[in-house]
A and B are shown apart, each in its own frame.
Chain A
């Protein structure tokens, strides 16, 4: 239970001799990292205040610096710049073992030569805790995680899901101030992952501690997090509740990263006419809703070329051609309650999600590859991004 404050945390990996040699030959492989004279910048000015008991999820594509950030909080990586506070105490130079944090690793990192019980008791033994107290805590945690019957097994004899439970158990017996999780579910199969995700939500209600969770899976991020931190190339892209980042993505990256299937993007033109804003894309011109217009006007947005983002489920099928965007169906995927159409509009791929029946149980016309679609979109739920990729409304 603790607050966690990160102030301008930066991680720079200094150039080593080998990297300099590699430069002469082939070009650098990792182009998404910033290479400067100082070194490779993995995390850039990461600032975040985490409240007591909050569940924070760091999410982003691989190599975005999310794991590095977590490892800096854990003390496994040195902090190159900025300050880290746990419970108001600066811990930049405090050793990992004295930070009172626990971590769950992707590879579980269980001690193979110890039984489950010994694994879980290990951190407590190192703290020279009373034997009865150790026993009580280990059994309690085992009870919570439903692994009591495996206590005298060794990790080798356990399945992936069970091992992950043990790893979580080892982390929670200490009742740490902050619980860090580094992609804990990535090594599990899809079914088990869903199950463990639910377990983690349950666990969270049982134990009171601050969580920091790293994942590349947006479903995990959306379902687990109180707030999500979306990262790319070492920079924070957006911090917000799952609903906020879904409804109001700060830039094109966040818009494309959150949401399945991905948001559709169009090259469009934003025009301001007498206090009203219009978006035209292809043969389709839509007047923006009053709220959106107000937001744009407040920021004094001028007429300009923009990237328009519309989520697949917010695309609207028009009965007749007219003020619409025409597209050709290429693939149709039947998902049961809805159909995903992959269509081609002016050479751009567009995904449209259409429910298979309306609320009265009447089947909606289905389309086949080659059919023409007339598309339009709702003016309430479209997103406008300027040339620099930033959302124009916020």
Chain B
């Protein structure tokens, strides 16, 4: 009798747990524990001084306060400016290209070819891309020599030595690397819209521009939100391009130094306390920004029932 009971209660659930175990194990070892450790470290004085290791000594919030009084706001501003320089042209060009490529009436030829070409820069490693730009735009590089030959400029432009030049180069590279990706995603979103909606709009009297602003844009809003959030997080973590382009110096005068480059400096100096505090800052900033973007772009009243109820209430009172 007892034996029979045992056979009956065979549970297959354990296999489910066994199958998902590898993920949770690796997540815990490589992500969760380091994450917790980072946060813990941010409250300690803990750095290497020559061959000696100082700490860990509990210091409370002093890492945070010392960061705030350092050049952190300046680096945050740098990051933001370079992100904007890359993101604005990226989203504009991507929207234009996506609406061209998806317009059935234009009958563009070689769509497939262009889709591949604009996606290609994304496949190149960011560091290789940065090296390439470093060579192209150096003082004696090909861009300068072409400009000189054509007589556009009198003397070589020192791209890397001006704040605007260096920042624009970083923005340009980010734009080139990501606009293909964004275009493909926007195209997917636009193609997901029922084509008869566009036809209805055409019959209702929309011009091409009106169709874009009144029909396409509102309908791809969820994907635009997604693009904005991922790009924002990516922007906050901007590191490889400016690091390689400026040799980690953030030249000129640290105006291209991003938050993560700064973090990297502390890590190299084995200052785990400050680096941890900086990471927590970054986490909080991204969380706040994402919450903002999300609130801004989500339709809080998807079926119109809320506003209808509100109006009904008003009507009832009056």
Q: Which residues of A contact B (CB under 8 A)?
A: 74-76, 96-97, 101-103, 105-107, 109-113, 115-116, 122-123, 126-127, 152-154, 156-157, 170, 174
Contact across chains for B203 and A102 when beta carbons are under 8 A apart? yes
Instruction: Determine which residue in B214, B221, B299 has the highest number of CB atoms from chain A within 10 A of its CB, and name it.
Output: B214
Nearest Cβ distance between residue B188 and chain A, in whole angstroms? Answer: 18
Is B200 on the interface with A (CB-CB < 8 A)? Answer: yes
Chain A to chain B: the 4 pairs with minimum beta-carbon distance, closest first? A157-B303, A154-B304, A123-B204, A109-B196
CA distance A102 to B196 in the complex (A): 13
Tell me what chain A mostly uses at the interface: helix, strand, loop, or mixed.
loop
Contact across chains for B196 and A153 when beta carbons are under 8 A apart? no
Contact across chains for B219 and A112 when beta carbons are under 8 A apart? yes
**Beyond known contacts A110-B197, A126-B205, A152-B304: 6 more, CB 8 A cutoff:** A76-B202, A97-B207, A109-B199, A115-B304, A156-B304, A170-B204
Nearest Cβ distance between residue A231 and chain B, in whole angstroms? Answer: 21
Q: What A residues does B204 contact at CB under 8 A?
A: 97, 102, 122-123, 126, 170, 174
CA distance A115 to B304 in the complex (A): 7
Is B229 on the interface with A (CB-CB < 8 A)? Answer: no
Instruction: Assign chain B's interface to a size class.
Output: 20 to 34
Is B244 on the interface with A (CB-CB < 8 A)? Answer: no
Which residue of A111, A123, A154 contacts B215 across the interface (Cβ within 8 Å)? A111
Query: With A152-B307, A154-B304, A157-B305 in contact, do A126 and B196 touch (Cβ < 8 Å)?
Result: no
Query: With A105-B196, A109-B196, A111-B197 in contact, do A74 and B203 touch (Cβ < 8 Å)?
Result: yes
Contact across chains for B203 and A152 when beta carbons are under 8 A apart? no
Is B16 on the interface with A (CB-CB < 8 A)? Answer: no
Nearest Cβ distance between residue B45 and chain A, in whole angstroms? Answer: 54
CA distance A170 to B205 in the complex (A): 12
User: Could you mark each residue 208-234 of chain B with 1 if its beta carbon is under 8 Å from any beta carbon of chain A, else 0?
Assistant: 001000110011010000000000000
CA distance A157 to B205 in the complex (A): 26
Q: What A residues does B69 contact at CB under 8 A?
A: none
Q: What B residues does A103 contact at CB under 8 A?
A: 199-200, 203
- B202's closest neighbor in chain A, by CB? A96
CA distance A316 to B305 in the complex (A): 60
User: Could you mark each residue 284-314 of chain B with 1 if its beta carbon is under 8 Å from any beta carbon of chain A, else 0?
Assistant: 0000000000000001011111011001000
Q: What A residues does B93 contact at CB under 8 A?
A: none
Q: What B residues does A152 contact at CB under 8 A?
A: 304, 307-308, 311
Nearest Cβ distance between residue A150 and chain B, in whole angstroms? Answer: 9
CA distance A106 to B200 in the complex (A): 11
Number of A-B contacts (CB under 8 A): 77
Q: What A residues does B202 contact at CB under 8 A?
A: 75-76, 96-97
- A99's closest neighbor in chain B, by CB? B203
- B218's closest neighbor in chain A, by CB? A113
Query: With A97-B206, A109-B197, A122-B204 in contact, do A157 and B304 touch (Cβ < 8 Å)?
Result: yes
Is B194 on the interface with A (CB-CB < 8 A)? Answer: yes
Q: What B residues does A122 contact at CB under 8 A?
A: 204, 214
Instruction: Determine which residue in B301, B305, B308 has the highest number of CB atoms from chain A within 10 A of its CB, and name it.
Output: B308
CA distance A111 to B196 in the complex (A): 10
Tell me what chain B mostly uses at the interface: helix, strand, loop, or mixed.
helix
Q: What B residues does A96 contact at CB under 8 A?
A: 202-203
Which residue of B194, B207, B299 contacts A107 across the interface (Cβ within 8 Å)? B194
- A95's closest neighbor in chain B, by CB? B202
- A107's closest neighbor in chain B, by CB? B196
CA distance A101 to B205 in the complex (A): 10
Contact across chains for B308 and A153 when beta carbons are under 8 A apart? yes
Nearest Cβ distance between residue B119 and chain A, in whole angstroms? Answer: 22
Instruction: Determine which residue in A96, A102, A156 has the highest number of CB atoms from chain B within 10 A of its CB, and name it.
Output: A96
Q: What B residues does A154 contact at CB under 8 A?
A: 301-304
Contact across chains for B303 and A156 when beta carbons are under 8 A apart? yes
Q: What A residues does B308 contact at CB under 8 A?
A: 152-153
- A114's closest neighbor in chain B, by CB? B218
Contact across chains for B205 and A127 when beta carbons are under 8 A apart? yes
CA distance A170 to B218 in the complex (A): 19
CA distance A304 to B103 in the complex (A): 56
- B303's closest neighbor in chain A, by CB? A157
Can you report 28 A-B residue pairs in the complex whose CB atoms are below 8 A from each other? A74-B199, A74-B203, A76-B199, A76-B203, A97-B202, A97-B206, A103-B199, A103-B203, A105-B196, A106-B196, A107-B194, A107-B196, A109-B194, A111-B197, A111-B201, A111-B215, A112-B197, A112-B219, A113-B218, A113-B221, A115-B304, A126-B205, A126-B206, A126-B210, A153-B303, A154-B304, A156-B302, A157-B303
Q: What B residues does A109 contact at CB under 8 A?
A: 194, 196-197, 199-200
Q: What A residues does B221 contact at CB under 8 A?
A: 113
Instruction: Determine which residue in A76, A157, A174 has the highest number of CB atoms from chain B within 10 A of its CB, and name it.
Output: A76
Q: What A residues does B201 contact at CB under 8 A?
A: 111
Q: What A residues does B219 contact at CB under 8 A?
A: 112-113
Nearest Cβ distance between residue A291 and chain B, in whole angstroms? Answer: 48
Nearest Cβ distance between residue A80 and chain B, in whole angstroms? Answer: 15
CA distance A355 to B139 in the complex (A): 99
Q: What A residues does B305 contact at CB under 8 A?
A: 153, 157
Q: What B residues does A123 contact at CB under 8 A?
A: 203-205
Query: With A152-B307, A156-B303 in contact, do A97 and B196 touch (Cβ < 8 Å)?
Result: no
Nearest Cβ distance between residue A32 and chain B, in whole angstroms? Answer: 24
Q: What B residues does A76 contact at CB under 8 A?
A: 199, 202-203
Q: What A residues does B205 contact at CB under 8 A?
A: 97, 123, 126-127
Instruction: Determine which residue in B203, B302, B305, B311 has the highest number of CB atoms from chain A within 10 A of its CB, and name it.
Output: B203
Nearest Cβ distance between residue B198 and chain A, in whole angstroms? Answer: 9
CA distance A137 to B201 in the complex (A): 19
- B312's closest neighbor in chain A, by CB? A152
- CB-CB contacts below 8 Å: B104-139 with A: none
Contact across chains for B206 and A105 when beta carbons are under 8 A apart? no
Q: What B residues does A74 contact at CB under 8 A?
A: 199, 203
CA distance A154 to B308 in the complex (A): 10
Nearest Cβ distance between residue A11 and chain B, in whole angstroms? Answer: 16
Contact across chains for A105 and B200 when beta carbons are under 8 A apart? yes
Q: What A residues does B194 contact at CB under 8 A?
A: 107, 109
- B210's closest neighbor in chain A, by CB? A126
- A74's closest neighbor in chain B, by CB? B203
